[in-house]
């Protein structure tokens, strides 16, 4: 929450919403006493992380280099990655939509009104969908300034240094890639895609990606075959547990179909549902059974876990996740 005044830090969100005209939180946090408190950024964070955006650390893998030489090496890696983004040889699949979104923004800000992060932050400038895109444009203009593909863009009034680059790395994760902005842009431009392409540079060129995505997502998926670590046996156990749970709650005995040959419907859930929200697969089972549908779940890996974390930050990881299935 970048524009919260220091004296208001620690106040319950209900009060802060009134002070800052913030978007109220959804249930259950809309009730008194349920709101998570805001805490002040810690001074010590500055020594380890890049906090110059707003004092907070969202991406804990953006760790400050220890020497000037390391800083310079990181800036160089970022610029090399930027060159690869704009090359047909190294980014063929994304180059066309990237160029469209990069090149044609009319700065009308229609997208800002659609962005829940921008609105929920009390319309803090750093959360405006085009904020990070503009920083990216300025850096690209400055870097490619001498001619070539990007030399026609106006701008470039920015210093390319470690701090600027790392702030951009933090900004790339202050967006959840929902692409609501792209749906409302009159020109069809996609600021979510630009955020995703920036993440790609940090991950693929600099080895920087948040642990929940990379270590606990992609790496776990490559190791166990599943993003949640669920094996086939564990999945089948879970289905049994769901049947028992439904019986205890409703008194009705349902047999949840798994690997039923010739079923009309193959139902695939988000893999995380089985771990975090088993009531959702249970609710589907009850509704489908009561509706008399001919359906099945699948105990094949692709049937119960088709998540690909790489899609959120890294093409190489995305490819590996597809191949492991």
Contact residues for ligand SF4 (CB under 6 A)?
105-111, 114-115, 117, 129-130, 175-181, 185, 187, 189, 191-192, 195
> Which is closer to ligand SF4, CB of 194 or CB of 206?
194
Kindly list the distances between the CA atom of residue 230 and the CA atoms of 18, 221, 277, 305, in Å, as whole numbers in the listed order.
44, 10, 14, 9
- To which residue do tokens 């919260």 refer? 4
The token pair at 215 is 């270590």
The token pair at 269 is 């859930």
Q: What sign does the CA torsion over 147, 154, 104, 179 have?
A: positive
Of residues 55, 183, 173, the one with CA closest to residue 117? 173
Looking at residue 131, the DSSP 8-state letter turns out to be H
Question: Could you tell me the smallest distance in angstroms from the CB atom of residue 118 to ligand SF4?
Answer: 6
- To which residue do tokens 């642990």 refer? 211
CA distance 227 to 50: 29
| Cβ atoms of 105 and 128 closer than 8 Å | no
> Which is closer to ligand SF4, CB of 22 or CB of 175?
175
């Amino acid at each position: 929450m970048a524009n919260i005044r220091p004296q208001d830090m620690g106040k319950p969100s209900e009060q802060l919403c009134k002070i800052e005209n913030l978007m109220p939180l959804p249930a259950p946090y809309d009730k008194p006493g349920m709101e998570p408190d805001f805490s002040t950024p810690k001074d010590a964070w500055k020594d380890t992380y890049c906090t110059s955006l707003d004092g907070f650390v969202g991406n804990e893998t953006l760790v400050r280099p220890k020497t000037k030489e390391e800083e310079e090496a990181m800036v160089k890696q970022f610029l090399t990655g930027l060159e690869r983004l704009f090359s047909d040889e190294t980014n063929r699949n994304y180059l066309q939509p990237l160029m469209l979104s990069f090149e044609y923004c009319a700065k009308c800000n229609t997208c800002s009104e659609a962005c829940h992060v921008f609105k929920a932050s009390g319309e803090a400038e750093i959360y405006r969908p085009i904020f990070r895109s503009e920083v990216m444009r300025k850096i690209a203009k400055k870097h490619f300034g001498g001619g070539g593909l990007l030399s026609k863009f106006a701008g470039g009034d920015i210093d390319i240094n470690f701090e600027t680059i790392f702030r951009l790395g933090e900004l790339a994760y202050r967006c959840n890639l929902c692409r609501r902005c792209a749906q409302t842009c009159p020109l069809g431009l996609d600021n979510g895609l630009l955020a995703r392409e920036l993440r790609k540079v940090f991950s693929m060129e600099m080895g920087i990606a948040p642990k929940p995505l990379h270590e606990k997502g992609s790496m776990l998926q490559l190791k166990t075959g599943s993003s949640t670590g669920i094996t086939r046996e564990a999945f089948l156990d879970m289905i049994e547990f769901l049947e028992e749970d439904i019986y205890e709650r409703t008194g009705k005995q349902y047999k949840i179909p798994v690997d039923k040959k010739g079923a009309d419907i193959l139902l695939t859930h988000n893999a995380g549902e089985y771990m975090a929200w088993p009531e959702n697969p249970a609710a589907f089972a009850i509704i489908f059974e009561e509706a008399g549908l001919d359906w099945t779940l699948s105990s094949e890996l692709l049937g119960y876990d088709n998540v690909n974390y790489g899609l959120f930050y890294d093409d190489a990881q995305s490819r590996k996740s597809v191949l492991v299935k």
